[in-house]
Amino acid sequence: MLRYHGDEFVTLARKHGWASSPHGHVRRAVAMSLVGRPLENTLKLVLQLAAAHEPGDRAGLEAFGAAVRGSEEALWPELVLAEGKQATEWSRRFVDIAWRLHPRAATSAWRARALEPRLDVEERRRALDALAFTPGRAAAEAVVAAHLAGPEDLAAYARWWLEQRNTNEWAEYALLDELPGGRADLAQATELWRSAPIGSGVVTVDVVLEEAARLWLVVDSEGSNGYDWADWIEPRLEVDGELVGLASLPWNAAEAGWGGVYVDRNAANSGPLTIEGRELSGIGTHAPSAIVWDLPRGATRFLARAGIDDGGARQPGARPLVHFAVLAELAEVDALAPHMAAFEGGSAQERADAIRALATDARGGMWLVRRASTDAFDTADAELAAEHIFGNPDPAVRALASGVFERPGEEQLPSIEELLALDGDPERGRELFLSTRTQCARCHTFELDGFRRGGALGPDLTMVREKFGRDGLFDAILNPSAAIAFGYETWMIEDDTGRLFTGFVLADGDLVVLKDTQGERHAIPADSIVYRQSQALSTMPTGIATGLAPEELADLVAFLHADPATEPAYGPWQDLFNGEDLAGWEAFSPEGEADWRVAAGALVTSGMPLGYLRTTRRFTDFQLELEWRFDATKGPGNSGVLLRVHGEDRVWPKSIEAQLHHRDAGDIWNIGEFSMETTPERTEGRRTRRRAPSSELPLGEWNRYRITLDRGTLVLEVNGVEQNRAGWCEAVPGWIALQAEGAEIQFRSIRLREPLGARVEGR
């Protein structure tokens, strides 16, 4: 009946209550009958199926998932209502269903289960599994919270998921770089020792670690090597005069260029550590590699030997050459301590000097805000602090200072009615959003055409236009503390050492995880906190508005309010090549006169000397169409179309290249570190590979490129097939250029159209 009479089957299922059948095969049949049907027509049956699900019935669970595919988000509130329990008290039946569907809306519930120590470890691991397959940054942040503040038996598993997702779905978030001991911290570490490049044998390591809080063991390749298996042999710490095996201590993070990082096993995990035929103990990895530990108190020395493992060095063709290095995070000398002491007990002049020094430092400014909240200022001191603190480099300090100091000579902000009368430019607003002046992108994420820019400190503003009109957006910018979004309340925390932290609380338990306004996470033991207070003010300063002219505020709101999916209205097509001569074009080659000519109505170059032919006019936004082919008798070759070319003429100038290399048309090449975003999984260095198989025609036939460069979005179509996209492309006027890159190539039918009202750029 299901196969041949689907509609009748659904009718009978409703009539006879088959969705609540005690027999799993009957419920599965009902579920499969609902596949592809709108949820509004099947909701009652779906809820009956959910209520009758038997824990552990994987086949039934998959059938249920198929029945509601595409409707998970809409269904979730109905399922939660029917369950009627807190996430940490879900029934086994409901855990199954939630795990199978993992909608974005379930993120907070899975997070609560992952961090609930009363739940069995397997249940908490399952919660992490669900988060790992839930789309969106919130799920990724929840796994970070589990790693930093979750029960100890879950931290390593959460870290494993972060490492797995760091190369695919979560790559754009760069979460590993933000963790304590991540790449961001490594860049600030001090190198204590580095070996010469070695290709065989071992080197001895003996490093003093005075005042070190964190230790990195790093291995780097020199040149291009394929078999850089590296071993740290018997790594030890001297702690309070005794030697402790470093491999026995849990590391914060470990990464290898290939394979993995293993104790007493090589990088491939295929055998013991072996150097020159001798089996050894220690840590095996593969360059480039970085392993980081938080050092125990009293650690004063690091000792080890290091060498290249036989597993790589003895492979055919192997020529390994690596450096071993030891880096550490050294305890900083607190340059602010004398100023803090002078504020507390110095003379009037010393106190005034201290206020000036503290007010202009990010950490010092936060310290003054904390002191001002305890009435530690008299009127003169408060006025002096106000003169300087509103120029503090940290916008969070400036924002919170507004609650305790009176801003001197505050400008009168324009009224919303006045601002609404201004016509803003969305493109200029986009530039402001990304600028260091406003620092919007440091806290807020915005997505354009599938590409995200910005930080995750504040709410995602991608769809803010659907929540607010222009008047609401102006009000939110001018009065950011009026309605702080739930989950973005600012907290100030002080620990028993006097350190101050300000930001958003990500996890609250034995460890409080706080993310500050610089994006750094801090895991603070709850029992060390001596002061904790929610702040009434937003960390987005009202002063952001006073730093912008009314016209600039209008531009920013125009950007936030515009629908990026709206295609521009284009003007008429204009020919860039007349088919007769090089009018409107000029050639460049660093080697002398370039070889560009017109033959049979086509532009032709032999490809030598290297260079390009560029338009005499500059363009910003446009649709460009052209045809190209390689001479079948001379074979395929290489070339490209350079877009928004600017800066000095050179091989090759700063630009975006739409690739024309044979069988690679549709690839994107970033030349000169052009500011743009591409798809991470298809990007290798400067190249972003096309998304579909080559759509080029056989060698010698004419191919057609359509290139759309609209504001920040680039789209490449080859013979009608969309092959690539990029986002957030820097909107700078530039030339369009055709490359001479070593092979004969022909171009024809080159035409372009611009959006109506586009500014004309000259030479």
Which of 387, 235, 393 shows the shortest CA–CA distance to 307? 235
**C-alpha–C-alpha distance, residues 679 and 664, integer Å:** 16
Reported as a single tens digit per residue, the pLDDT across 727-736 is: 999 989 999 9
For 436-439, the CB contacts below 8 A with 24+ separation are 437/547, 437/548, 438/544, 438/547, 438/548, 438/556, 439/395, 439/544
Q: What percentage of the chain exceeds 70 in pLDDT?
A: 91
Q: Between residues 749 and 116, which one has the greater pLDDT?
A: 749
**Residue 148 half-sphere exposure toward CB, CA atoms < 13 A:** 29
- The pLDDT of residue 630: 96
- The pLDDT of residue 763: 41
- The mean of the pLDDT values for the chain is 87
Q: Between residues 132 and 168, which one has the greater pLDDT?
A: 132
**C-alpha–C-alpha distance, residues 317 and 412, integer Å:** 72
Specify the DSSP element, H or E, that contains 426: helix 426-434
Q: What is the DSSP string of 373-424?
A: TTT---HHHHHHHHHHHTT-S-HHHHHHHTTTSPPTTPPPPPPHHHHHTS--
Q: In 10 A of CB 505, how many CB atoms? A: 19
273 is written with which tokens?
């550590």
Q: For the ranges 292-296, 310-314, 732-736, which has the lowest average pLDDT?
A: 310-314
In this structure, which amino acid lies at residue 715? V
Task: Return the top range by mean pLDDT from 1-15, 241-255, 332-346, 697-711.
Answer: 697-711
**C-alpha–C-alpha distance, residues 164 and 580, integer Å:** 57
551 is written with which tokens?
């016209």
Specify the DSSP element, H or E, that contains 670: strand 668-671
Mean pLDDT of 377-398: 84
Q: For the ranges 441-445, 499-503, 541-545, 713-717, which has the lowest average pLDDT?
A: 541-545
Distance set, CA 240 to CA 67, 207, 296, 300, 557 (Å)? 63, 15, 10, 8, 60
Instruction: State the Cα torsion 163-168-171-177 to the nearest 10°.
Output: 10
CB proximity list for 466: less than 8 A, separation 6 or greater: none
Task: Return the top range by mean pLDDT from 252-261, 355-364, 495-504, 633-642.
Answer: 633-642
- The pLDDT of residue 762: 47
Backbone angles phi, psi at 168, to 5 degrees: -140, -105
Reported as a single tens digit per residue, the pLDDT across 67-118 is: 999 999 999 999 999 999 999 999 999 999 999 998 989 998 998 899 888 8
- The pLDDT of residue 615: 97
- The pLDDT of residue 703: 98
Specify the DSSP element, H or E, that contains 94: helix 92-101
Contact status, residue 663 vs residue 703, Cβ threshold 8 Å: no
Find residue 740's DSSP bridge partners: 611
**DSSP secondary-structure letter at 248?**
G
Reported as a single tens digit per residue, the pLDDT across 405-441 is: 887 765 666 788 888 999 898 888 888 888 877 778 8
Reported as a single tens digit per residue, the pLDDT across 554-565 is: 999 999 998 877
- The pLDDT of residue 12: 86
250, exposed or middle or buried, with CB in 10 Å at 0-12, 13-18, 19+? exposed
Q: What is the DSSP string of 694-741?
A: --PPSTTS-EEEEEEEETTEEEEEETTEEEEEEBS-----BEEEEEE-
Q: Tokens 């070996």 map to which residue?
A: 195
Does residue 54 register a pLDDT over 60? yes
Mean pLDDT of 185-199: 85
**C-alpha–C-alpha distance, residues 585 and 616, integer Å:** 5
Contact status, residue 531 vs residue 493, Cβ threshold 8 Å: yes
**C-alpha–C-alpha distance, residues 278 and 272, integer Å:** 10
Contact status, residue 215 vs residue 302, Cβ threshold 8 Å: yes
Q: For the ranges 148-152, 266-270, 486-490, 584-588, which has the lowest average pLDDT?
A: 486-490
